[in-house]
Amino acid sequence: MATLLEEIVKSVELWLNLIKKPQPFVDPNLDPVLLVPGIAGSILKSVDDENGKEERVWVRILSADYKFRTKLWSRFDPSSGRTVSLDSKTSIIVPEDRYGLHAIDVLDPDMVIGCECVYYFHDMIVEMINWGFQEGKTLFGFGYDFRQSNRLQDTLDRFSAKLDLIYKASGGKKINIISHSMGGLLVKCFMSLHTDVFEKYVKNWIAVAAPFQELWREKLVDGNSRTILETYPPLESVEIFKEALSSNTVNYDGVNIPMPFNLEILKWANETRKVLSRAKVPSGVKFYNVYGTNLETPHSVCYGSKETPVKDLQELRYFQPTYICVDGDGTVPAESAKADGLNAEARVGIRGEHRGILCDHHLFRVLKHWLRADHDPLYNPVNDYVILPTVFEMERHRENGLQVTSLKEEWEIISEYPDTQDDTPNRKPLVSSMTVSHDGGNRSSRAEACATIVVHPQKEGKQHIEMNALSVSVDA
């Protein structure tokens, strides 16, 4: 009750200007951070080219399907590599409010109930402000039209301009980039095509959950119809897609538009793949990779079955696929996220879902350490625990011509993840010992040391470790 009264009094005092609203902590020593979202991670607005009226079309709840079809459906223009809206009177823009953070924070700002489902970088932004980052000084966002190619020149030019703006706004400090999902491919394309600019402005790049890297069919065999399992690598799959989508259409504004497999997009994608394969991290930049684990994640797909084979490839798109899954974040397989092909300072796996990982406190601890916002030299981001030395005692003495040294050291390992074994209270400490000896060939250089290590069971997130060691050497 007292707490509620305090809140009421504080609210009234703020309203009457009797007290000033507390200002957030700002750490002037932090380097600037740029957040780059993945596919569908930016607010998109449509602009009527005739009257200039703006309207948010991604993300929205009311009339979402209608607006998506009429404003965002698009076609690929091979001459420019640009995705062009089917509505010729509409342009798509990304809002730049709050230094680019508005577009990647809450994707539907009008949503009140259940708004957590449209959070993108929201939790991370709140967390980083608590660490001392400041919007417009050390914290920025880069939203983009995710329908476009990751190497579209307009997008890369905007990205270059954003880096220059941040560099100047922070007083010439180099930038930490945190990308999520497909945003990692955009950053990698930019790094490959504009290495000099990347090296000039970027200090660290942290990629989070980036996607860096069969078919049952009835077939004639020896003149007889048999059901066999056929697998198709990427190049051979093209012919399958061409035939399966040869009669595919989409209805737009009452008109059926042919939508076969687009070989022009494939050509453009192949060039993008070459750009990505050439990417190297500049010598002055550090690269870190965070990937999600512990969830079943689709890796490959199978259409049809032995009982219901695919007889006509044009029917393929109506078959319910079966996915072969591997470990990952539910969207990106861990092996894909780890296959960055770059020289990484560290690769850290975090148990979590593809988008949910952005509000995971394990990720926050890792980022805080890499961004040097925690000032904790004892934290290990790879293993996600802190080792605290609690006891250190050493004693030396001579006895009968021997140098005797005894050492006692103890540590407390603090981990976020508790021991999941049910028999923890009944488990006994693990005791181990080791011996090391040195024989230099003569009596005066002989030495021997032995140590006993006791590892106690984890309790309430803490694990106690003891070491007692003794060394004896000839006192020369």
The length of the chain, given as a count of residues: 476
DSSP for 126-168 reads HHHHHHT--BTTTEEE----TTS-TT-HHHHHHHHHHHHHHHH
Q: What residues contact residue 266 under an 8 Å CB cut-off, 6+ apart?
A: 238
Burial of residue 101 (number of CB atoms within 10 Å: 0-12, 13-18, 19+): buried
Torsion, CA 116, CA 122, CA 127, CA 129, rounded to 10: -140
Burial of residue 433 (number of CB atoms within 10 Å: 0-12, 13-18, 19+): exposed
Catalytic residue check, 354 = yes
Q: 87, 123, 145, 329: which is the annotated catalytic residue?
A: 329
Q: Measure CA 171 to chain center.
A: 28
| 302 neighbors 324 (Cβ within 8 angstroms) | yes
Q: Dig out the tokens for 393 from the structure.
A: 């005692």
Distance, CA of 342 to CA of 283 (rounded, Å): 12
Task: Quote the DSSP letter at residue 313.
Answer: G
Distance, CA of 431 to CA of 445 (rounded, Å): 30
Q: Please, what sign has the CA dihedral across residues 121, 122, 125, 128? A: negative
Element (H, E) at 122: helix 122-131
Q: Please, what sign has the CA dihedral across residues 148, 152, 157, 163? A: positive
Strand, coil or helix: 50? coil
DSSP for 246-300 reads TT-EEEETTEEEE----HHHHHHHHHHHHHHHT----TT-EEEEEEEESEEEEEE
Catalytic residue check, 42 = no
**In 309-391, which ranges are continuous DSSP H helix?**
334-338, 361-370
Catalytic residue check, 369 = no
Instruction: Name the pairing type of β-strands 202-208 and 90-93.
Output: unpaired
**Side-chain half-sphere exposure of 296, counting CA atoms within 13 A:** 3
Q: 46, 149, 179, 181: which is the annotated catalytic residue?
A: 181
Torsion, CA 103, CA 108, CA 110, CA 115, rounded to 10: -120
Distance, CA of 410 to CA of 466 (rounded, Å): 4
Q: 354, 360, 362, 384: which is the annotated catalytic residue?
A: 354
| 216 neighbors 309 (Cβ within 8 angstroms) | yes
**Which residues are marked as active site?**
181, 329, 354
